């Protein structure tokens, strides 16, 4: 099969098809949902097991897999560049030999993005919107790499302490418009830019609700939404005085948010529970047809 950038863009922009389901694989010791799952006692990635997980998710219907070497959960500290490369590159090398899906790399660093693209990654998913590494935007523009422009207020270390907006939808929309403009000015075609409102990244429960309700107003040619297993689901439960779920107990809320995002026009859904999301999308599209 063809897992090149051009093939990815054709699939992304084919609105007759369902949104792409992006399976999440965190190669970190401290991600909020699956931290440490793919590392050995010395902190090294168990490549064969991680490769099997990618293949499992692809078999369940994930057309895109997001590999992350840095946790961005609230309070997380960044790894060194060397640590991030050591987590991501071995699996990318294995996937080059056994391709089974489009590969995205969740990174804020130009060097990681460059080496990932050399090994076949077709998407750079940057939660920092170019703020961590000034070389990242020129790199993706020069190489024409599809790129996710995500909104985050603050940094993972402090983003959930006291997020504040005048009008969260208007401010996130303005952030994306300016980011798309600047990326285009560098030479990156707007059809290669995805926007992500950053659910849970410097937002409280009300901010997340407002953004999810207004997804269709956000600018950009393609929308990506990652609401899977996030704390806002437990926030809803807390507000309604229901039992509070842990991250692994949020399947129902995650699928509901994914279907809502798809209904609002999202083209990529970033999820932990691939099979359930794919099944839900299949039934929803069957009913809508």
pLDDT tens sequence for the chain (289 residues): 899 999 999 999 999 999 999 999 999 886 556 667 778 878 888 999 999 999 999 999 999 999 999 887 776 678 899 999 999 999 999 999 999 999 999 999 999 999 999 999 999 999 999 999 999 999 999 999 999 999 998 776 666 777 889 999 999 999 999 999 999 999 999 999 999 999 999 999 999 999 999 998 888 779 999 999 999 999 999 999 999 999 999 999 999 999 999 999 999 999 999 999 999 999 999 999 8
- How many Cα atoms are found within 13 Å in the side-chain-facing hemisphere of 282? 9
Cβ atoms of 147 and 179 within 8 Å: the answer is no
Please give the pLDDT value at position 159. Answer: 61
pTM, whole model, 2 decimals?
0.93
Which residues are 68's β-sheet partners?
26, 106
- Phi/psi at 45 (nearest 5 deg)? -70, 130
How long is the chain?
Answer: 289
Q: Report the candidate in 100, 99, 36, 41 with the shortest Cα–Cα distance to residue 68.
A: 36
E-assigned strand segments in the chain: 20-26, 64-68, 102-106, 123-126, 147-150, 193-196, 222-225, 268-271
* C-alpha Rg value of the chain to the nearest Å: 18
Dihedrals φ, ψ of 150, to 5°?
-105, 145
List the alpha helices (DSSP H) in 42-150.
Answer: 47-60, 81-97, 110-118, 136-143
- CA 237 to CA 249: how far, in whole Å? 12
Quick one: tokens of 166? 């005048």
Token digits for 275? Answer: 């099979």
- β 64-68/123-126 pair status: unpaired
User: Between vectors from CA 37 to CA 35 and to CA 41, what angle results, nearest 5°?
Assistant: 100
Phi, psi (5° rounding) for residue 262? -60, -40
The residues assigned a catalytic role are 230, 270
Can you tell me the distance from the alpha carbon of 28 to that of 273, in angstroms, rounded to the nearest whole number?
A: 18
Closest alpha carbon to 277 in 60, 56, 50, 31: 60
Query: What are the phi and psi torsion angles at 68 (to 5°)?
Result: -125, 130
Domains of the chain: 5-288 (3.20.20.20)
Q: What is the largest CA-CA distance in the chain?
A: 51
């Amino acid at each position: 099969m063809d897992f090149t950038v051009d093939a990815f863009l054709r699939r992304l922009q084919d609105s007759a098809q369902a949104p792409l389901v992006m399976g999440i694989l965190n190669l970190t010791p401290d991600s909020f949902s699956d931290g440490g799952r793919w590392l050995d006692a010395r902190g090294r990635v168990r490549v064969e097991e991680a490769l099997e997980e990618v293949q499992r998710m692809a078999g369940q219907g994930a057309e895109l897999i997001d590999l992350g070497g840095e946790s961005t959960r609230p309070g997380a500290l960044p790894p060194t560049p060397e640590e991030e490369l050591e987590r991501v590159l071995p699996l990318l090398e294995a996937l080059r030999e056994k391709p089974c899906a489009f590969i995205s790399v969740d990174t804020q660093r130009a060097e990681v993005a460059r080496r990932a693209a050399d090994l076949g990654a077709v998407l750079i998913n940057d939660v920092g919107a170019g703020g961590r590494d000034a070389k990242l935007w020129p790199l993706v523009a020069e190489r024409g790499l599809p790129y996710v422009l995500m909104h985050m207020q603050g940094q993972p270390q402090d983003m959930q302490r006291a997020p504040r907006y005048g009008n969260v939808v208007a401010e996130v929309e303005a952030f994306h418009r300016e980011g798309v403009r600047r990326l285009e000015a560098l030479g990156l075609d707007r059809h290669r830019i995805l926007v992500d409102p950053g659910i849970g990244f410097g937002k409280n429960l009300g901010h997340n609700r407002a953004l999810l309700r207004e997804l269709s107003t956000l600018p950009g040619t393609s929308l990506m939404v990652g609401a899977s297993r996030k704390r806002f689901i437990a926030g809803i439960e807390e507000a309604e005085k229901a039992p509070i779920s842990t991250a692994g107990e949020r399947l129902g809320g995650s699928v509901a948010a994914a279907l809502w995002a798809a209904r609002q026009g999202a083209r990529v859904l970033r999820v932990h529970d691939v099979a359930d999301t794919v099944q839900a999308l299949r039934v929803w599209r069957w009913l809508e047809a």
